[in-house]
Amino acid sequence: MKLDRILPFARILLEKAVRPGDITIDGTMGNGFDTVFLAGITGADGHVYSFDIQKEAIEATAAKLNAENLQERCTLIHAGHEHLSKYIGKEHSGKVTGAIFNLGYLPGGDKSIITQAETTISAIEQLFELLAPEGIIILVIYHGHPGGSAERDALMDYVENFPQQKAHILRYGFINQANNPPFIVAIEKR
């Protein structure tokens, strides 16, 4: 297949935006894959702030970071991403170049604990203020679970009405796959 699948495409976008030494955000730590990826592309002089409300996510991510010897490059925050501005200092304002959110539930975890549109929109608004010009926020929207379609609809309404003068917004996804395939919304600050 020549078309990039969803998660590889998200990483391609992040690789275009993030350079060694940059500040990045993983808004939904999950099992740690994106945190490890971001720690790799930000390098030894960069930093990743990673958020999750579930202790299992913190533990899984810490184990992956330790296995790769990347723990010093990351701050794992046991809080929802809607509290982003509480944990990301003003000294990073205008310096965050990339962020990713995998919306839905923790794979392998409690499927009743899901991300919510209100908290994600709050996090996007806080993060947008911290973004560098041409910084990118990636939303990977999984919507096939209970509550997923409501979050999807609210987020799409929000991004479709985002001021064009402030950001370029892209939607990328496969439209002929069964079972509510995930898709990406990428927000690039102008």
- Tens of pLDDT, residue by residue over 52-90, are 999 999 999 999 999 999 999 999 999 999 999 999 988
Residue 130 confidence (pLDDT) above 90: yes
What is the rounded radius of gyration, in angstroms, for the C-alpha atoms of the chain?
15
- pLDDT at residue 78, as a whole number: 98
Q: How confident is the model at residue 1 (pLDDT cuts 50, 70, 90)?
A: confident
- Tens of pLDDT, residue by residue over 134-176, are 999 999 999 999 999 999 999 999 999 999 999 999 999 999 9
- Half-sphere exposure (CA, 13 Å, Cβ side) for 15? 8
- Tens of pLDDT, residue by residue over 173-188, are 999 999 999 999 999 9
Reference 90, options 34, 187, 19, 23; nearest CA is 23
Q: How confident is the model at residue 124 (pLDDT cuts 50, 70, 90)?
A: very high
If DSSP codes are grouped into helix, strand and coil, which group holds residue 116? coil
- Tens of pLDDT, residue by residue over 6-20, are 999 999 999 999 999
